[in-house]
Chains A and B, each alone.
Chain A
Amino acid sequence: MHELGVVFYIIKDVKAVAEENHVDHVSSVVMDIGEVSTVVPHLLTDCWRWAADKEEMLKGCELKINTIPAVTYCDNCKKEYETVKFGKTCPHCNSNNTWLLRGNEVEINSIVV
């Protein structure tokens, strides 16, 4: 729901890195987005297109998204499982003593110039 806000953050960071590297145009930005990150990939790319084209440096710049599968770790039986399929409760031992190992990332991986 807050994809536009996220896009503004990405633009700010990307512009800063591009300027540091004396780059005048960025051709693509690669994002790592976790499956349970609350960011919806197709909304992010829609907002990106709208906002990026307003920036000289980012006109036509493509936003590529790597999806990071969500994995939860169980402290009780020390096993990992798929978060999206099983949620908070461990499918191996039924414990709720679990925590998200990865899958909530909203990260800028790299830019291509």
Chain B
Amino acid sequence: MQPMEKVKVIEIKKSVFAENDKDADNLRKELRTKGVYLLNLMSSPGSGKTTTLIQTINRLKDKIRVAVMEADIDSDVDAVKIKEATGIPSIQLHTGGMCHLDAEMTRQGLDNVALEDADLVVLENVGNLVCPAEFDTGAVRNAMILSVPEGDDKPLKYPLMFSVCDLVLINKIDVMPYFDFDLERCKSYIRQRNPKAQVIPICAKTGEGVDAFVQWLLNEVNSWKTN
């Protein structure tokens, strides 16, 4: 007779994200020591992340040193575009099919950035309103772009994304008259999800509102370095 197989239950009771949250906190601490501010920028595909970055960086690059990490499932079109349009260092990360970046992947990306020559590193996350919200990248702040054609109801449909963001840029406000987009309604939906989130309406194409975002970044970087 075979001896009866013993069954044993080992309790774990641990969040799947706990390990990543710990990595992210460690990364933030290291960035603080190095005086580097990391911004995690998220949005849907096509909301204007890259165009917004180009406009913003061209106004920032004489004031502070900026570098960009582009994360995509494939291609390097965004990294090339940023480098050509702004002249700042820009690297491309491939997520290997994954729909988001975690703290470990962010750290691997940062290993390829000359951090001693950077005050601000912008991480352009994979275009997606669901998954990136779950994973703390180790960034100092999370920001997102919602573009007018996507609709003012998005804070209701993707609540987690809006609740983790410190700043929401509402882009493509020049086409507001052609879409049924109510800026005040959108702001109230955002406040319902996240009373602390700041909202800045912009148009990356015409440059409207971009100065307000530039000022927000300068204040943020300055206080991260001095506090």
Q: Which A residues have a C-beta under 8 Å from some C-beta of B?
A: 1-2, 4-6, 9-10, 12-14, 17, 21, 23, 27, 38, 88, 96, 105-113
CB-defined contacts of A1 to chain B, threshold 8 Å:
99, 128, 130-131
CB-defined contacts of A4 to chain B, threshold 8 Å:
97-98
Given contacts A2-B130, A113-B8, contact A9 B99 (CB under 8 A): no
In the complex, A10→B14 CA distance in Å? Answer: 10
Is there a chain A Cβ closer than 8 Å to B12's Cβ? Answer: yes
Is there a chain A Cβ closer than 8 Å to B10's Cβ? Answer: yes
Are B17 and A9 within 8 A (Cβ)?
A: yes
Are B160 and A107 within 8 A (Cβ)?
A: no
Are B14 and A107 within 8 A (Cβ)?
A: yes
In the complex, A12→B20 CA distance in Å? Answer: 11
CB-defined contacts of A109 to chain B, threshold 8 Å:
11-13
Closest Cβ of chain B: how far from A59's Cβ, in Å?
16
Is there a chain A Cβ closer than 8 Å to B77's Cβ? Answer: no
Chain B residue with Cβ nearest A29: B12
CB-defined contacts of B111 to chain A, threshold 8 Å:
none
Is there a chain A Cβ closer than 8 Å to B19's Cβ? Answer: yes
How many B residues face the partner with a CB closer than 8 A?
Answer: 28
Number of A-B contacts (CB under 8 A): 77
Are B10 and A21 within 8 A (Cβ)?
A: yes
Q: Which B residues have a C-beta under 8 Å from some C-beta of A?
A: 7-17, 19-20, 97-100, 102, 128, 130-131, 133-135, 159-160, 192-193
In the complex, A62→B8 CA distance in Å? Answer: 15
Closest Cβ of chain B: how far from A50's Cβ, in Å?
13
Are B100 and A2 within 8 A (Cβ)?
A: yes
Contacts A/B (CB < 8 Å), 10 sampled: A2-B98, A5-B99, A9-B17, A13-B19, A27-B7, A38-B160, A88-B192, A106-B16, A107-B16, A110-B9
Are A5 and B102 within 8 A (Cβ)?
A: yes
Are B160 and A13 within 8 A (Cβ)?
A: no
Are A2 and B15 within 8 A (Cβ)?
A: no
CB-defined contacts of B8 to chain A, threshold 8 Å:
112-113
CB-defined contacts of B102 to chain A, threshold 8 Å:
5
Among A2, A88, A109, A113, residue most surrounded by chain B Cβ atoms (within 10 Å): A2
Closest Cβ of chain B: how far from A39's Cβ, in Å?
9
Partner of A113, one of B10, B14, B131: B10
Given contacts A5-B98, A38-B134, contact A110 B14 (CB under 8 A): no
Chain B residue with Cβ nearest A89: B192
Are A113 and B7 within 8 A (Cβ)?
A: yes
In the complex, A12→B17 CA distance in Å? Answer: 11
Partner of A110, one of B11, B15, B100, B160: B11
